Amino acid sequence: MTRIATIIGGGVIGGGWAARFLLNGWDVRVFDPDPEAARKIGEVLDNARASLPGLYDMALPDEGTLTFHDTIKEAVAGASWVQESVPERLEIKHRVFAEVQAHLDAEAVIGSSTSGFKPSQLQQGAKDPSQIVVTHPFNPVYLLPLVELVPGEAHDARAVAWAQKVLESIGMYPLHVKKEIDAHIADRFLEAVWREALWLVRDGVATTQEIDEAIRMGFGLRWAQMGLFETYRIAGGEAGMRHFIEQFGPCLSWPWTKLMDVPELTEDLIDQIADQSDAQSGQYSIRELERHRDANLVGMMRSLKARDWGAGAVMAQHDRALAARGAIAETLEDLADLGAPVLTVDRAVPIDWTDYNGHMNEARYLQAFGDATDRLMLIVGCTPDYIEQGGSYFTAETHIRHLDEVHAGARIRIESQVLEGAGKKMHLFHRMFEGDRLLATGEHMLIHVSLETRRASDPAPSVADPLARLAAAHAALPQPDGAGAAVGKRG
C-alpha cells in the first residue's frame, strides 16, 4: 500500500521532513509557493541520501516518489500524514490548517513542526482539533531522531497512537509530552543556555567561540549520550542522585547565573527527583553506567576525529603529536634499519572495534592492515601530494589470517615487509602483534594506477625508487610464514 506524506512548507525543516519520509519509502507531496522550493529540497535530499543510509546496518526501503503541487488541495489528496512547517506565525498556521482540513481525510494526522506554540493554540478554530498535534523535530530532521509529540488536551488517543507508529517507522524517537507548555521540553533547555550565553557575551566574559568550545569540548559530549539527570547521577558517585543534589544543590542559590528563578529544594522535591532517577537508571550500577558512558564517548569522539571536527580535531592533533614523538616513520630516511620489517602501526584497540564475541571484529583487522599499507605507501613517497598529482595504489587482493584473539585496550603493532616492489606491483606482508604474541597476518597485492585513467600505470621515480630500495633490502629477510597461503591451507 502506498503511503503518502504531505509537506506544507519546504524550508530547512520541511525539507528535512521530506527527506526523512522519502528515504523511508513514503511518497512525498510538497506544497510551497517559493519558486526555489524544488531546488532547496533537492539539495537537502542530496545530503540526506549521502548520510541517512549510513546510520543503519540494513538497507532502507526503496525511495518513494517526490512531487511538487500548486495547491494544498492537490497536495493533501490521499495523504495519511501532513507535516506543517510554515513560519512561526499563528495566523498563518491557522489559515493552513483550515485549508488542509477542508480537503484531508478525517483519519489522517496533521503534525506541526512548531518550536514554540502549544497544541491548544494551534487547534483554536479548527474543524477537528484532535487531528492537529505538535511534532517538533530537530535539525537535521533526516538524521536526528528526536521529535517532541505534544497532542494537548483536545486529543484523540487513536491519532496519538498512529502518530507514534508513523514516527517510529521512519526511524525517529517520538517523545510523548503529556502536558503542554510553551516551547515544549528541549527548546526550554536551549533557551536557558541561550540566554545565559547572551549575558556572557554581553558582559565580556566569553566570546561566541569560547562558549561553543565550552559546550562541544565538555558537557555537550556527555549530554549527547546520557542526558542531564543520568550524567549527574554518575557525578554523585556510588551514593547516586541524592548525594549529588545534597552536595551541589546549594549552588542554585549562589549568584552564578542570570536565571535565578529556581525551585526550593525541599525534601519532597529531592525525593521526587531521586525516585525518578532510580526508576530511570537504578537497574545499573555506577560502574556499569560509567562503562556505557565511556564506550559511547569513544564512539562519538572517534567519529568526530574522522571528520577532524570539534573534540575530534583535538584528538587528531594529539595523534599527530604522538606520531611525531613515536617510532612510526614518515619517510625512508626515518628508518633506522632499512633491512628490518617496518613498524607501520602502533596503537591501542578502541572499544568500538570489538564484537559480540568480546574480541576485535574481523573488519577491524582489515582496517588495521589497511592503515599499515597506507603508512608504507607514505614511507615510499606515495604522499597526499603525490596522490593529488594523479598517482596512487589500488588493492587488488588481500588475504588475512586470524591467528589469536585481541581485546579492547590491547596495544597492537604491525610490522610490514615488502615482498615485491617493482614495476606496477607492491606486494606487502603485514604481521600484527600484541607484545610477542602473533595475532594475525595480512598479505596485500597492490597495483599502481593513474587516477586520471583509472588504469594500471608505472609509478613515478619519486615512488618507484624508494620502493625498490626497500624491496631490495627486505629481500634478505626470511620468507614470512603464511605468505602465499590459500584459505584453509597453512603455509
CB atoms within 10 A of CB 16: 28
Distance between CA atoms of residues 15 and 48, nearest Å: 10
Based on the fold, state whether residues 360 and 336 are members of the same structural domain.
yes
SS3 363: helix
Based on the fold, state whether residues 191 and 154 are members of the same structural domain.
no
Angle at 294 between CA 293 and CA 298, to 5 degrees: 120
Contact 188, 135 (CB under 8 A): no
Among 241, 270, 292, the domain boundary falls at: 292
The DSSP secondary structure of 289-312, one letter per residue, reads HHHHHHHHHHHHHHHHHHTT-THH
Among 236, 266, 292, the domain boundary falls at: 292
Compute the chain's Rg from CA coordinates: 29
pLDDT in tens, 25-65: 999 999 999 999 999 999 999 889 888 888 776 778 889 99
> CA–CA distance from 401 to each of 48, 167, 456, 459 (Å)?
38, 44, 28, 29
Contact 357, 403 (CB under 8 A): no
Q: Indicate whether 312 belongs to any domain.
A: no
Look up the CATH number of the domain holding residue 457: 3.10.129.10
Range of the structural domain that residue 214 is part of:
186-292
Q: Indicate whether 298 belongs to any domain.
A: no
Q: Indicate whether 194 belongs to any domain.
A: yes
Based on the fold, state whether residues 147 and 31 are members of the same structural domain.
yes
Helix H or strand E encompassing 434: strand 425-434
162 alpha carbon, distance to own chain's centre: 28
Based on the fold, state whether residues 90 and 160 are members of the same structural domain.
yes
Is the pLDDT reported for residue 260 higher than 60? no
The residue type of 38 is A
Mean pLDDT of 151-163: 89
pLDDT in tens, 169-205: 999 999 999 999 999 999 988 888 888 888 888 888 8
Burial class (CB in 10 A: 0-12, 13-18, 19+), 231: middle
Q: Indicate whether 357 belongs to any domain.
A: yes
Binding residues: 9-14
Residue among 448, 444, 443, 395 nearest 425 (CA)? 448
Based on the fold, state whether residues 337 and 282 are members of the same structural domain.
no
SS3 145: coil
Look up the CATH number of the domain holding residue 65: 3.40.50.720
Whether the link from the prior residue into 129 is cis, omega within 30° of 0, is no
Domain count, the chain: 3
Distance between CA atoms of residues 36 and 15, nearest Å: 12
Q: Indicate whether 170 belongs to any domain.
A: yes
Contact 149, 164 (CB under 8 A): yes
Q: Indicate whether 307 belongs to any domain.
A: no
Residue 1 pLDDT class (50, 70, 90 cuts): low
The residue type of 332 is L
Q: What is the pTM of this model?
A: 0.77
Based on the fold, state whether residues 166 and 205 are members of the same structural domain.
no
**Which comes out higher in pLDDT, residue 173 or 244?**
173
Contact 48, 15 (CB under 8 A): no
The residue type of 486 is A
Give the model's pLDDT for residue 374: 97
Q: Indicate whether 21 belongs to any domain.
A: yes
pLDDT in tens, 422-458: 999 999 999 999 999 999 999 999 999 999 999 999 9
Span between the terminal Cα atoms of the chain, in Å: 57
Give the model's pLDDT for residue 334: 92
Most confident region among 166-175, 255-264, 372-381 by mean pLDDT: 372-381
Cβ partners under 8 Å of residue 161, min gap 6: none
Q: Indicate whether 121 belongs to any domain.
A: yes
Strand partners, 396: none
Based on the fold, state whether residues 331 and 389 are members of the same structural domain.
yes
Based on the fold, state whether residues 75 and 197 are members of the same structural domain.
no
Residue 314 pLDDT class (50, 70, 90 cuts): confident
Based on the fold, state whether residues 148 and 194 are members of the same structural domain.
no
Based on the fold, state whether residues 169 and 140 are members of the same structural domain.
yes
Based on the fold, state whether residues 249 and 385 are members of the same structural domain.
no
Contact 51, 79 (CB under 8 A): no
Distance between CA atoms of residues 77 and 90, nearest Å: 24
pLDDT in tens, 101-144: 999 999 999 999 999 999 999 999 999 999 999 999 998 999 88
The residue type of 237 is G
Binding residues for NAD(+): 9-14
The DSSP secondary structure of 53-65, one letter per residue, reads GGG-SSPPPPP--
Contact 368, 432 (CB under 8 A): yes
Based on the fold, state whether residues 170 and 197 are members of the same structural domain.
no
Contact 61, 21 (CB under 8 A): no
- Roughly what angle, to the nearest 10 degrees, separates helices 12-22 and 37-51? 50
CA-CA-CA-CA torsion sign (35, 40, 43, 45): negative
Distance between CA atoms of residues 180 and 185, nearest Å: 9
Is the pLDDT reported for residue 304 higher than 90? no
Give the model's pLDDT for residue 298: 82
